[in-house]
Structure 1
Amino acid sequence: MMGPWCRQPCTPPHPGSRAMLHSRLTLLDDGIPAAAIRATAPRLSTLDFLGRMPVPLRHGFAAGLERAAAAAGGRRICFLMGHEWYAPFDDMLRAGPLSGVPHLVVSPFTRDLLSPPFQQFLRAAGHCAGPAAPVHPAVAEAGLVDPEGLFSVFAVIPWVFLIDLRKLAGRAVPRRWEDLLDPAYHRQIVFGGWRRPSDGTYPDCNDFLLLTLHRRFGVAGLRAFAANTRAILHNTAAARFAGTGSEQGGAISILPWMQADMCPHRDRTMVVWPEDGAMTMPIGSSVSGDHRGWVQPLIDYLSGDALGRFLAQNRYPPTSGQIPQVLPPGAKLHWIGWDYTRSHDMTEETNVAMRIFFDAWDAG
C-alpha cells in the first residue's frame, strides 16, 4: 500500500498569494525504523491535506494533486515516511479533534475510516462533505451517497470475478456472490493478500471481502467460502496466474476490476461482473467547513474531469455522472451500507470475520 500524501501550509502567506506547501510521504526501505521516520514528519494538525490511495493510482493521483496545488500558486516540499497506511489516522484519533485535523482528508473507506469513533471525530472537528454533484445512476442505486453529508465519494473500487476457463472444467460460471459458496468450487477460489515467508501468516488480506461476505451470508456462508478458497495471493500474481494452468491459481479469482482487466491471458479467461453487484469500497473525502476555501483547488481536482478520466481508464470508476462509460452496461455496485458502518465497530466486525474465515480455512 502507498504511504499517505500530505499537504502542509506554510507560515503566513503574503497578502493576495496562495502559498501551499505540499509534502509527499512515500515508502522507505524496511531497514529504517518507523519511529525515526515519523519523528521527522510534521504534526498532523499542521497539514492541509492527508490522503492515501490504492497503489495502482498513487503516482497518477499525486501528480494531478501537485499540478492542482502548483496552479493555485503553491510550493512543494518532500519528506519520506515508511509503511504506515493506518498510523496517521490512528494518531489523529488518539490525539482527539482539539489537537487539529488536516483540512482535507482523502482515503478508501477502510475499517479505520468507517469506524464510528473516527466519523464522530471528523464531525467534532467540523468536517463535512463537499458540494453535492450529480452521480452515476449505479452509484445512487447502491446508496453510496452519504445521507449524513460527512463524506463525498468520488470513486469506487469494484471487485469482480476473473474466471480461468480451463480450471473451471465444465462447472457453471459463477454469476452472483452466493454462487461462490457452492461446494462445486471446492478449493478453486483465490483472493487478494500476501503471506509472510518467515512464519506463513497472512498479515494483509482482503478483509473487506471477508467482512462483506460475513455481513451478507453469515457464519455458515463465510465458512463455506473458506472451504472453497484455494489460496490468498497478491492481486497482480493472481491475475498473472489465471489462464496458465499454474497450481497456485484457481478457477475463480476475486480481484479489483483493474487487476482482473489486466490479466495477460484473456483468451483463456473471462471477467464476470457479478449480477448482484460488484463488491464496492468507496474512495472519498471529508473537508473542514472552516477551511474549504483554502483547499478548494484540491477539492476541484477531486471532482474534476481530468481525475475522472484517469480513474475510469484505470478501472477505478469515478462516481461523477459527467464521465461516460465508466461501468459496463447494466453493471451494479454493492456497498455494505452507511447504516451498518455507523452502527457497528468496523474493526471488531472485521476481526470477527477474519477469525471465522481463518479458523475454518486452517481446519481444512
Structure 2
Amino acid sequence: MDKTQTISALFEDSEVSDQLDFFGETVCALKPAFREGYNEAAAIFRQTQGRSMRGYLPAICGCDGIKGAENIHRVRENYHIDQMPAVISSFKLGSYFFSPFLTKCTGKGYFEQLNLPIHPVFEKSGLRDPNGEFHIFSVLPSVLLVDKKRLGDRPMPRLWSDLLDPMFAGEVALPSAHDAISPILPLAVLRDHGEEGLEKLRRSAHSMMHSQDMIRNAGNKVAGPTIFVVTWFFAQACPHPDVELVWPEDGALVEPSFLMVQKGQQDVYRPLIDFIAGKAFGEISAEHCYPAANPEVENHLPKNAVFNWLGWDFLRSAPLEDRITEIKARFADLNV
C-alpha cells in the first residue's frame, strides 16, 4: 500500500514541491482516519495511473509558530495554478478564503465544478458554492454551553444576537486559537449587526478560552463566564448537570472542511474524491461531531437543527484576512 512521502523528500527539491498531486489538511481529531483513507486511495491511484501519488498530509495541528509550518505555507501560498497540487483538501476560514487566493485562483475556470450531492441541511444552509469551486464535505459547528446556576432567572439565550444583550455584559467566554480570538462569531456579528454589533460583543466578552478549558470551567466555578461559545465536538463532552447545551435557533456557526480539484483532473483523482466526499469517511466525521455533507450519512443532529454559514457573498465581499486582523486587534486585550 502506498504511503505519503516524507516531508523532507518532498521539499528538498523545489521542482518536486511544485508537483504535488495532493495537499491534505484535516482537523486533528480526524487525522488518523484521514491518513488511512488517503493510503487506500493512493494504492488505487497507483494501480490505475502506474505511479505513486505525491501527497503531503501535514502531521501538525494548526500552523502559526509551529515547527514545520514553513512547508505548509509554501504549499498554501503558491498561487501559480500549474504549480499547485491537483487536489486540495483543507479546513477552516484560512488562506484559501483570503483575497490573494480568491483573486488569483478562483473565478477563472481553474477548478472543477464537482456538483456532488449534499445533505439537505447543507443545501438549506447555503453551503453549496454557487461557483462550484469549493466542495464543503463537512463542517465544525459551534454552539453554546450555558451555566444555569449563573444564568439564574434570566432567559436562556437561544439566538446568537442574545449574546449582545447588556444583561450578559462580561459573561461570555469566546473561543481562542493560538492565543488569539477565533473569528467565526465576530465575523457573524459583523455580518448581521455591523461595527455596533462588534462593540456589543466586546462588552459581553468575559475572556478567551480554548474549548478544552471551557468544558472544564463550565459549571465548576463560583465566579466565571455564564455562557461559553464552544465547538459541538467539545460541548458534547461537558459532563456537568448544571450546564445546558444550546444549539442556537438561527443555526450553529460552522467552519468548513473543503475539497478543490483542478480542471480536467476529476477522473484521474477519482479515488481521492470518492474517499474524502464518501460515506465511510463521512460517518467517521459525523461520529466526531463534524457533520458530513454526504446525504447518505446520519449526522445525529438535534431536531430542527440548522447551520449558520457566513455565506459566499459575505466571504467574497471584502478581504477576509483584513476583517480577521481587525477583529483580533479589537479583542486582543481579553484575558486568555
TM-score (norm 1): 0.79
Question: Which of 231, 237, 260 does residue 235 from structure 2 map onto?
Answer: 260
How many residue pairs end up in the alignment? 323
Q: Quote the offset at 1:354 in angstroms.
A: 2.6
Name the structure 2 match of 1:244: 220
Q: Judge conservation of contact 1:183–1:228 (CA < 8 Å) in 2.
A: yes
Report the Cα offset of residue 136 of structure 1: 1.9
Aligned counterpart, 1:300: 274
In 2, distance between residues paired with 1:95 and 1:76?
17
Query: 36-45 or 321-330: which moved more?
Result: 36-45
In structure 1, stretches of 5+ residues that fail to align are 1-18, 26-35, 196-201
- Partner residue, 1:91: 74
Shift of 1:190: 0.9
Moved more, 219-228 or 43-52: 43-52
Deviation at 1:76, TM superposition (A): 8.8
Q: Rate the CA distance shift 1:303–1:91 in 2: closer, same or farther, 3 A.
A: same
The offset of 1:305, in angstroms, is 1.1
Report if the CA contact (8 A) 2:79-2:105 is conserved. Answer: no
List aligned pairs for 1:50-129, cutoff 5 A.
50-73=23-46, 84=63, 87=70, 90-92=73-75, 95-97=78-80, 100-123=83-106, 126-129=110-113
Which residue number in structure 1 is paired with residue 182 of structure 2? Answer: 206
SS at match of 1:274: coil
Q: Which residue of structure 2 aligns with residue 233 of structure 1?
A: 209
Instruction: Tell me if structure 1 keeps the 8 A contact 2:23–2:56.
Output: no
Q: How far does residue 24 in structure 1 lie from its aligned partner after superposition?
A: 6.2
Work out whether 1:185 is the aligned partner of 2:168. Answer: yes
Task: Name the SS of the counterpart of 2:4 in structure 1.
Answer: strand
User: 2:24·2:57 contact (CA, 8 Å) conserved in 1?
Assistant: no
TM-score normalised by structure 2 residue count: 0.85
Please show how residues 267-282 of structure 1 align to structure 2 within 5 Å: 267-282=241-256
The 2-side partners of 1:77 and 1:139 are apart by 29
Distance apart, 1:71 and its partner CA: 4.8
Alpha-carbon distance in 2 for matches of 1:330, 1:88: 42
2:63 maps to amino acid: E
Change (3 A) 1:94 1:298: closer
Task: Give the conservation status (yes or no) of the 8 Å contact 1:189–1:254.
Answer: yes
What residue number does 1:29 align with? none
| 5+ residue gaps, structure 2 | 47-51
What residue is the counterpart of 1:336 in the other structure? Answer: 310
Paired residues of 2:171 and 2:204 also in contact (CA < 8 A): yes
The alpha-carbon deviation at position 58 of structure 1 amounts to 2.1
Q: CA deviation at 1:348?
A: 0.6
8 Å CA contact retained: 2:181, 2:331:
no
Q: 2:191 aligns with which of 215, 225, 246?
A: 215
**Structure 1 SS opposite 2:275:** helix
- 8 Å contact from structure 1 (residues 238, 253) kept in 2: yes
Change (3 A) 1:183 1:308: same
Aligned with 1:157 (options 102, 120, 140): 140
Matches within 5 A, 1:318-333: 318-333=292-307
Q: What's the Cα RMSD here?
A: 3.0
Is contact 1:97–1:125 with CA below 8 Å preserved after alignment?
no
Q: Evaluate the alpha carbon distance shift between residue 44 and residue 323 of structure 1 in structure 2; reply closer, same or farther with a 3 A threshold.
A: same
Report percent identity of matched pairs: 27
Q: Aligned partners of 1:56 and 1:38: how far apart in 2?
A: 25
Alpha carbons of 1:118 and 1:164: their partners in 2 closer, same or farther (altered >3 Å)?
Answer: same
1:210 alignment partner AA:
P
**Correspondences of 1:6-85 after superposition (within 5 Å):** 22-23=4-5, 40=12, 43-73=16-46, 84=63
CA–CA distance in structure 1, aligned partners of residues 10 and 207 of structure 2: 35
What amino acid sits opposite 1:179 in the alignment?
D
Q: Distance in 2 between matches of 1:101 and 1:39?
A: 14
Take 1:37 and 1:81, find their aligned partners in 2: how far apart are those partners? 15
Q: Is the Cα–Cα contact under 8 Å of residues 223 and 357 in structure 1 kept in the other structure?
A: no
Question: What residue number does 1:167 align with?
Answer: 150
Q: Distance in 2 between matches of 1:51 and 1:112?
A: 14
Q: 1:324 offset after TM fit, Å?
A: 2.5
Tell me which residue corresponds to 2:49. none
Measured after TM superposition, the shift of residue 283 of structure 1 is 1.2
1:89 Cα offset (Å):
6.2
CA apart distance, 1:87: 5.0
Distance 2:233 2:274 in 1: 25
Give the aligned partner of residue 287 of structure 2: 313
Q: Distance in 1 between matches of 2:249 and 2:168?
A: 18
Aligned partner of residue 162 in structure 1, secondary structure? strand
SS at match of 2:245: strand
Residues 39-98 of structure 1 show CA distances to partners (whole Å, capped at 9, x for unaligned) of 648654221111222222222322222233235445799998766367556535654315
